[in-house]
Amino acid sequence: MRICFYGTDAEITRLCERPALALLGPQRSQPVLVFELFNVRITTDPYGSLFRLAADLTEVKESNP
């Protein structure tokens, strides 16, 4: 899955510092899904001071030993 985020320098930096991204399901009974970012590309927004982060996501599967 490919995602894009727009944000300030501080927001994009904060996002890149995290090894994983957790997404909540629309219902409280659904589990939290954890994704890892890879193929990250950051570009500047030509219309302002925002940055654009584009990345691919891969779901992190829970492993039970």
Model confidence over 4-51: pLDDT tens digits? 888 888 888 888 887 788 777 677 666 777 888 888 898 987 677 889
**What is the C-alpha to C-alpha distance for residues 6 and 8, in angstroms, rounded to an integer?**
7
pLDDT at site 32: 76
Name beta bridge partners: 43: 52
For 38, which DSSP code? Answer: E
Model's pTM, two decimal places? 0.67
Give the strand pairing for 2-7 and 21-23: unpaired
